[in-house]
Amino acid sequence: MTHYSLFIDGKSVDTDETYDVVSPGDGTVIATLAKGGTAEVDAAVEAAAAAFASSGWRETPMHERAAVIDRAADAIEARAEEISLLASRENGTPVRLAQGLSVGFPVMHIRYFADLARRHVTDQPTMVSGSVVGIIRREPIGVVAGIVPWNFPLLLTVWKSIPAIAAGNSVVLKADEKTPSTALILAEVLKAAGLPDGVFNVITGDGAEVGGHLTKHPKVRKVSFTGSTATGRTVMANAAERVKKVTMELGGKGANIVLPDADLDLAVDGSLWAFLVHAGQACESGTRLFVHRTIYREFVDRLVQRASQLTIGDPTDMSTDIGPLMNRAQRERVEGFIDSGKKDGATVAFQAELPADLNREGMWVPPTIFTDVTPDMKITTEEIFGPVVSVMAYDDIDAVVAEANTSEYGLSAGVWTTDYTVAMDLAHRLEAGTVWINDWHALSGQLPFGGVKQSGFGREMGPNAINEYTNEKSIAIDYSGRDARAAWGLTIP
């Protein structure tokens, strides 16, 4: 059976304890994984700190860093089939989707970061006054801790690690123990591409113990976290002990608004796509669906009809649209939300029938569409992280914007309309880090991704991606010495 080790200082490291890596599609143990503890955190942070001090990576010219990063992208692309299958087996992403989410997006985004590195300005001169010239220097921060969940393991590892590495930092990445393989592949290809040992390390371990130790570690200077809002609060509190920089990519409850003039074929399929990608286990899913009352009935009928055509099944099968949830805890949590929707009086407009031949050990939850939902129900306010949507009718555009903005989350929103003036006005008024117009889940290297309100802060991707992993230093040079002489009333001889 495959065994995964930790990756510290360029070497595979094993520990006494192991995790089983379990496939959610059939419950089989597909690999074992070294379980890290605080000793491995310390070793990884020390390796990262030593590499930051003396590996020469932070002095490497930007175009050479970019070349290393590009070579890593090439290597991942060359292993596309293997990686998408691994992702599918580890977390149940339908393999057709995994080709995009676990290979296509990561490769595109790594290449974007390499291009950004080539254009990255480390030293920007500026005139301060008269004979005083300033330089704004962007320096790497030091050791950066990245913490990622299991839903898009390689993509999120890339977002956290590549810009940080491009800026000259060293990274300790805590992978989720359920989905370790792809972060380890990234470590392997970066090493082969020429990244010095210690610059990128991968550890695992229990979230509270190992994640807690990592985020509090005195030598870690920045923590970049993706996960739930609840854990994010703990991570922020731990990082605050030593006043560390933090990036928080947290939960979401995306508002999806369909206007009466929308192209209905597009809006129906797009709204399914918005809440059902990866069986709804995406932070930026569109799970609050607001449909104008004049088209509400027709829209719901069409949504149900199209949902019933989706194929639920083995995630490694190319024809599968919807796979299982991650594990039993996740399945029971989502089932609890479906029960609460029923108890609160929402109507189940659709609940998929699970095919009889599904593997009984799989973590299946049927895609579920709720109507007659009110804004106060738990299914409308809380992040479910499963294949469930709440559909609500609206009459007035101002009222729907106000309703959309009542959420404490603010990661994503979307609008379906053929009137781009209205679309742009809504994009302006919706409180979210990303607003999609006639689209959903389009994640581009060029566009910053992140949240507002309790969905977090800080941005990944976009033109400032590398800058997020730097400190600005101001350097002022007085060529004349005039100001210093004047300070104590000295006169020029």
- Runs of H (alpha helix) within 356-448: 378-381, 397-404, 420-429
* In the complex, minimum distance from the CB of residue 286 to ligand NAD, in angstroms, rounded to a whole number: 13
CB 174 within 8 A of CB 212: no
In the complex, minimum distance from the CB of residue 411 to ligand NAD, in angstroms, rounded to a whole number: 6
Q: Which residues form the catalytic set?
A: 160, 249, 283, 460
Q: Which of 350, 385, 394, 416 binds ligand NAD (CB under 6 A)?
A: 385
**Minimum distance from residue 480 beta carbon to ligand NAD (Å):** 50
Residue 211 to residue 146: CA distance in whole angstroms: 10
Task: For residue 22, give the nearest of 52, 38, 2 by alpha carbon.
Answer: 2
Place of tokens 């490291």: 13
- Minimum Å gap between C-beta 363 and ligand NAD is 14
C-beta closer to ligand NAD: residue 136 or 452:
452
| 322 Cβ contact list (under 8 Å, min separation 6) | 94, 276, 279, 310, 311, 312, 313, 352, 367, 387
The span from the first CA to the last CA of the chain, in angstroms, equals 81
Given 150, 370, 436, 440, the residue binding ligand NAD (CB under 6 A):
150
Q: In the complex with ligand NAD, which residue's Cβ is closer, 27 or 212?
A: 212
3-state SS class at 490: coil
Q: For residue 11, report the phi and psi dihedrals to the nearest 5 degrees.
A: -125, 155
Residue from 162, 202, 235, 276 touching ligand NAD (CB under 6 A): that is 235
In the shown chain, the binding pattern of residues 393 to 432 toward ligand NAD, with x for contact by CB under 6 A and - for none, equals: ------------------x---------------------
* Window contacting ligand NAD (CB under 6 A); options: 61-69, 230-238, 397-405, 439-447: 230-238
CB nearer ligand NAD, residue 209 or residue 439: 209
| Cβ at position 383, least distance to ligand NAD in Å | 5
Of the candidate residues 24, 140, 196, 251, the single one contacting ligand NAD (CB under 6 A): 251
Question: Rounded CA gap, 325 and 335, in Å?
Answer: 11
Among 158, 283, 369, 432, binds ligand NAD (CB under 6 A): 283
Selected from 106, 142, 196, 227, the binder of ligand NAD by CB under 6 A is: 227
DSSP string, 219-274: TEEEEEEES-HHHHHHHHHHHHTTT-EEEEE----EEEEE-TTS-HHHHHHHHHHH
Interaction between residue 327 and ligand NAD (CB under 6 A): no
Q: In this complex, which beta carbon is closest to ligand NAD, that of residue 175 or of residue 295? A: 175
Q: Does 215 bind ligand NAD (CB under 6 A)?
A: yes
Q: How many amino acids of this chain bind ligand NAD (CB under 6 A)?
A: 28
- Residues between 173 and 212 with contacts to ligand NAD, criterion CB under 6 A: 174, 176, 207-208, 211-212
For residue 160, give every residue at least 6 positions away whose Cβ sits within 8 Å of its Cβ, in sequence order, or none.
144, 146, 148, 171, 173, 224, 226, 460
Q: What 3-state class would DSSP assign to 369?
A: strand
Which residue from 195, 178, 236, 219 is spatially nearest to 31, judged by alpha carbons?
178
Interface with ligand NAD (CB under 6 A): 147-151, 174, 176, 207-208, 211-212, 215, 226-228, 231, 234-235, 249-252, 283, 383, 385, 411, 451, 456
